[in-house]
Chains A and B, each alone.
Chain A
Amino acid sequence: MRSIDTSEVWRVLGATEAATSILKGFLEDVRSSRSWGDILSAFDKLYQACVKRPYSALLINTARDIFSRFLEEAPRDPGEASRIIEPIVSRVFDNVRIMTEQASLIASKRISNNETIFTLSFSGTVLRTVENVLRRGDSLRVIVPESRPFGEGVEMAKALKRLGADVVLIVDSAIRSFIRRASRVVIGAEAISSNGAVINKIGTAILALTAKEARIRVFVVAGSYKIMPETVFGELIGSPEIGLPDIPEDLLSLGVSSSFPLFEAVPPEYIDAIITEKGLISPAAVPYIVRDVFGSWPPFVKRIDELYGEIRRTIEGAVK
Chain B
Amino acid sequence: MTRIPSEVLRIADDIRSMRIRGAGRIARAAAEALMIAATNYSGEDLGDFTRYMEDVSRLLLSTRPTAVSLPNAVSYVMKQLRKDYRGVEDARAAVISAARSFIEHSKRAVEAISIIGSRMIKGGETIVTHCNSSAVTGILAKAWSDGKMFRVYATETRPRFQGYITARDLASKGIPVTLIPDSAAVYAMRRADLVIVGADAISSNGALVNKIGTSQIALAAKAHGVPFYVAAETYKFSPYTLIGEPIEIEEREAEEVIHPVPEGIEVRNPVFDATPAEYIDAIITEIGVISPEMAIIIITDYLGHRVSVDMLKSLEDSEPL
Give me the interface of A with B, judged by CB distance under 8 Å: 145-149, 154, 157-158, 161, 166-178, 202-203, 205-206, 209-210, 213, 244, 247-248, 250-251, 254-261, 264
Let me know if B220 and A206 touch, CB within 8 A: yes
Residues of B within 8 A of A210 (CB): 216, 219
Let me know if B258 and A178 touch, CB within 8 A: no
In the bound complex, how far is the Cα of B156 from the Cα of A173, in angstroms? 10
Give me the interface of B with A, judged by CB distance under 8 Å: 155-159, 164, 167-168, 171-172, 176-187, 211-213, 215-216, 219-220, 223, 257-258, 262-270, 273
Let me know if B179 and A174 touch, CB within 8 A: no
New contact pairs (13) apart from A206-B185, A247-B164, A251-B179, CB-CB < 8 Å: A158-B262, A161-B264, A168-B266, A170-B257, A170-B267, A172-B181, A173-B157, A174-B270, A177-B270, A206-B186, A206-B216, A213-B219, A247-B179
Let me know if A158 and B265 touch, CB within 8 A: yes
State the Cβ distance, A33 to closest chain B Cβ, in Å.
41
Let me know if A251 and B268 touch, CB within 8 A: no
Residues of A within 8 A of B264 (CB): 161, 167
Let me know if A203 and B266 touch, CB within 8 A: no
In the bound complex, how far is the Cα of B186 from the Cα of A261, in angstroms? 11
In the bound complex, how far is the Cα of B220 from the Cα of A213, in angstroms? 10
Let me know if A203 and B183 touch, CB within 8 A: yes
Ranked nearest first, the 8 interchain pairs of A and B with the lowest CB-CB distance are A173-B213, A203-B183, A205-B186, A254-B171, A172-B183, A176-B216, A173-B182, A148-B181
Interface centre among A157, A175, A176 (most CB of B within 10 A): A176
In the bound complex, how far is the Cα of B267 from the Cα of A259, in angstroms? 28
Can you sample 23 A-B contacts with CB below 8 Å?
A145-B183, A148-B182, A161-B263, A161-B264, A167-B266, A169-B262, A169-B266, A170-B267, A171-B269, A172-B158, A174-B213, A174-B273, A203-B181, A203-B184, A205-B186, A206-B183, A206-B185, A209-B220, A244-B179, A247-B179, A254-B167, A257-B179, A261-B187
In the bound complex, how far is the Cα of B218 from the Cα of A177, in angstroms? 13
State the Cβ distance, A178 to closest chain B Cβ, in Å.
7
Residues of B within 8 A of A178 (CB): 268
Residues of B within 8 A of A166 (CB): 266
State the Cβ distance, A311 to closest chain B Cβ, in Å.
35
Nearest A residue (CB) for B273 = A177
State the Cβ distance, A197 to closest chain B Cβ, in Å.
13
Nearest A residue (CB) for B216 = A176
Given known A-B contacts A146-B257, A171-B212, A251-B168, A161 and B262 have beta carbons under 8 A apart:
yes
Nearest A residue (CB) for B264 = A161
Residues of B within 8 A of A174 (CB): 212-213, 268-270, 273
Nearest A residue (CB) for B184 = A260
Interface residue from B179, B181, B216, B269 paired with A256 (Cβ < 8 Å): B179
Residues of B within 8 A of A158 (CB): 262, 265
State the Cβ distance, B170 to closest chain A Cβ, in Å.
8
Let me know if B181 and A244 touch, CB within 8 A: yes
In the bound complex, how far is the Cα of B220 from the Cα of A284, in angstroms? 23
Residues of A within 8 A of B184 (CB): 202-203, 260, 264
Residues of A within 8 A of B164 (CB): 247-248, 251
Residues of A within 8 A of B157 (CB): 173
Given known A-B contacts A256-B177, A256-B179, A258-B180, A154 and B258 have beta carbons under 8 A apart:
yes
Interface residue from A161, A248, A250, A256 paired with B265 (Cβ < 8 Å): A161
In the bound complex, how far is the Cα of B155 from the Cα of A149, in angstroms? 12
Residues of A within 8 A of B187 (CB): 202, 205, 260-261, 264
Interface residue from B176, B220, B265 paired with A167 (Cβ < 8 Å): B265
Residues of B within 8 A of A175 (CB): 216
In the bound complex, how far is the Cα of B190 from the Cα of A264, in angstroms? 12
In the bound complex, how far is the Cα of B264 from the Cα of A157, in angstroms? 10
Residues of B within 8 A of A256 (CB): 167-168, 171, 177-179
Residues of B within 8 A of A149 (CB): 181
Residues of A within 8 A of B186 (CB): 205-206, 209, 264
Nearest A residue (CB) for B254 = A169
Nearest A residue (CB) for B223 = A209
Residues of A within 8 A of B257 (CB): 146, 169-171
Interface residue from B158, B167, B172 paired with A173 (Cβ < 8 Å): B158
Nearest B residue (CB) for A170 = B268
Nearest B residue (CB) for A213 = B219
In the bound complex, how far is the Cα of B187 from the Cα of A315, in angstroms? 42
Let me know if B158 and A146 touch, CB within 8 A: yes
Let me know if B267 and A169 touch, CB within 8 A: yes
In the bound complex, how far is the Cα of B181 from the Cα of A172, in angstroms? 9
In the bound complex, how far is the Cα of B216 from the Cα of A171, in angstroms? 13
Let me know if A260 and B180 touch, CB within 8 A: yes
In the bound complex, how far is the Cα of B185 from the Cα of A251, in angstroms? 22
Nearest B residue (CB) for A239 = B187
Residues of A within 8 A of B156 (CB): 148, 244
State the Cβ distance, A93 to closest chain B Cβ, in Å.
31
Residues of A within 8 A of B258 (CB): 146, 154, 169
Residues of A within 8 A of B223 (CB): 209
Residues of B within 8 A of A171 (CB): 158-159, 182, 212-213, 257, 269
Let me know if B265 and A176 touch, CB within 8 A: no
Let me know if B178 and A259 touch, CB within 8 A: yes
Let me know if B183 and A147 touch, CB within 8 A: yes
State the Cβ distance, B272 to closest chain A Cβ, in Å.
9
Residues of B within 8 A of A157 (CB): 262, 265
Nearest B residue (CB) for A150 = B181
Residues of A within 8 A of B179 (CB): 244, 247, 251, 256-258
State the Cβ distance, A188 to closest chain B Cβ, in Å.
16
